Structure 1
Amino acid sequence: MFTRLHALKSVVFKTSLPKQNILIANIKMLHDYKLTPNINLYSENTLHKNEINQNKPLVIIMSWMMGKRKHLQRYTEIYIDKGCDVLTVNITPWQLMWPTSGSQIVAKELVNILEHVKMPLLVHGFSVGAYVWAEALLMLGPNHPVLSRIYGQVWDSAADFATIGHGLSFAMFPNNFIARNMLKYYIKFHTILFHYFSVVHYRKAKNHFFNGALRAPMLIFCSENDLIGTASENRVLMNGFIERKIPVRMKCWEKSAHVMHLTIHNEEYMHELNKFLDEIGFPPLPKAKL
């Protein structure tokens, strides 16, 4: 079964699989379909007449700020190897700073796509991607049919709006201390001056997310030394889900780096992720043909 989307452009590229996937061929051909300026679809299949294959489970990767394709590729390959297609969602700093004309537009585009597909879903998000996903949950509302198709959610270095200045300045100027501090002070000024155009939306989305808008089982990755996706904030999220009797567990390292846990702690990360996917039954086994 397929579902139609408009204006898809395909670019085929070769990608080397991670060394640990020793049973897999060293080279895979992936098709990269740009659905919107902020949303891409990756699949091993060639899509005909701008249609998405609904016979494969779909993983939604909510990227960290300015996450590039080569950085997201490793996560994409994990799920491609499991027989899934992958949707990546990214936003720019400007879209984060101005939610109503930025991140909320991207969230709406994502919702439009999810409402037109019927396959099993998994969310794997990073850093500010948690905020964009929360905006999408607000738009879906409670008891939306899309929510029932989400098997689970994985959050890696999920960041709170209070740490936006720190995270955004590092994303844009990782090696320029002066520029980084200037941007950090501007963001603080921006959230004060334009409180009702930014912070109000961040808080509303966060509260919706933390209150269990999506009751799918959750796996959290974080570290004690992460100043952006702090361990303390992630524990608040975990404890809130536990209180609401939503299955959740956390893997928290003493030392790691923001959105770099897979690279630094590869074996532990993959062990926890695969264990979680096995527990929730994702991707589901294909239905037997009668």
Structure 2
Amino acid sequence: MASNAFDLPSNFQLRTCDNDPQRTTTNGKSGRPLVLLYSWFLAKDFHLEKYRNFWTSRGYDILTIRTRPIDMIAPSWAMSGSAIKIREFVAKYQPNYLLVHGFCGGNFQFMELLNQLLMIEADRYDSEDDDMVTLRSIKCFIADSITTLEDTPEGIGKVLTKNRMLQLLIKGLVLTYIRLTHSFVMKRFIKLEQLLKENPKRLSTLIFYSTDDHISSLEQTTQLIEGWKSRQLDVRIKCWKSSHHVRHYRLHKEEYVYEVETFLKELQL
């Protein structure tokens, strides 16, 4: 596997568009763009494969970052650790530029990476070190089935089971855990969600959602989009009246592909 050549964590997977783990480089750089694919909670490999194929068939290499239970339970340790590993990998890999394709709660993982890079930027804005090169190389953000903190307790239950009684039980347990660990779990998520709302790097964003999503709140998603637009951010939206959480590509493939390709073309990528 290509991942082994870079000693990546078990929840990371690298796929190159030429299936070559020993990348040939030009002037020390990989020469190709890299997609950071942040998966949804407990995503299966066969679910993610279609997105890997989508990007690699278009000449992009792709690094998949899985969202694990530990990322939700201990974000300040688990998500932070993943973000550090991503920074180390990108510095070594040296892609031409970066795109971010995030799903559901995986978008919090991207916000953790952005949070670390912004904290470093505050001290080293004019430097040319690896982290500043990484921050400047992020060209855009594609957000699929985005979730907020208000969606999370019930959403986790719906991901784990279809039994309504068990969903309510899990929701209650998650809410209890949040209350008990507010100082070091909830505060972290609040900070990351605020970063998502502010989009301080003003990244061009394409967001996919539906009005009947049973996990992502339409009200919260709408507020997020309106907040971005009020700040004159570059936001492109695609909303379906009937679709499913993190399954928009499977159910509306032609439209999904059109929106992504149009978005990238507008950004001249």
The match for 1:9 is 4
State the SS of the aligned residue for 1:9.
Answer: helix
Q: Report if aligned partners of 1:137, 1:214 keep a CA contact under 8 Å in 2.
A: no
Choose which of 39, 42, 60 in structure 1 pairs with 2:15: 42
The match for 1:205 is 192
Deviations 1:217-254 (A, max 9, x none): 11000111124222322222222222333211211111
Please report how far the alpha carbon of residue 188 of structure 1 lies from its aligned counterpart in structure 2 after TM superposition: 0.8
Question: Which letter maps to 1:258?
Answer: H
Q: How does 1:97-246 map to 2 (within 5 A)?
A: 97-116=73-92, 117-141=94-118, 142=121, 144-173=132-161, 175-246=162-233
RMSD (CA atoms) = 2.3
Please report how far the alpha carbon of residue 46 of structure 1 lies from its aligned counterpart in structure 2 after TM superposition: 1.9
The match for 1:26 is none
Question: Which letter maps to 2:58?
Answer: K
Instruction: Please say if 1:70 is aligned against 2:65.
Output: no
Q: Report if aligned partners of 1:121, 1:150 keep a CA contact under 8 Å in 2.
A: yes
Q: Report if aligned partners of 1:220, 1:234 keep a CA contact under 8 Å in 2.
A: no
In structure 2, distance between residues paired with 1:162 and 1:98:
18
Q: Which has the higher strand share?
A: 1
Q: Report if aligned partners of 2:158, 2:215 keep a CA contact under 8 Å in 1.
A: no
Question: Which letter maps to 1:45?
Answer: N
In structure 1, distance between residues paired with 2:251 and 2:29:
34
Q: Report if aligned partners of 1:137, 1:213 keep a CA contact under 8 Å in 2.
A: no
In structure 2, distance between residues paired with 1:105 and 1:50:
28
Higher mean C-alpha displacement, 95-104 vs 123-132? 95-104
In structure 2, distance between residues paired with 1:77 and 1:151:
21
The match for 1:251 is 238
Aligned residues: 253
State the SS of the aligned residue for 1:100.
Answer: helix
Q: Report if aligned partners of 2:34, 2:95 keep a CA contact under 8 Å in 1.
A: no
Identity of aligned residues (%): 27
Q: Report if aligned partners of 1:58, 1:119 keep a CA contact under 8 Å in 2.
A: yes
Deviations 1:92-135 (A, max 9, x none): 12321211222222222223223442421111110001111111
Structure 1 runs of 4+ aligned residues shifted over 6 Å read 49-53
Q: Structure 1, unaligned stretches of length 5 or more?
A: 1-6, 11-32, 283-290
Q: TM-score of the superposition, structure 1-length normalised?
A: 0.80
In structure 2, distance between residues paired with 1:50 and 1:181:
52
Q: Which has the higher helix share?
A: 2
Higher mean C-alpha displacement, 212-221 vs 74-83? 212-221
State the SS of the aligned residue for 2:21.
Answer: coil
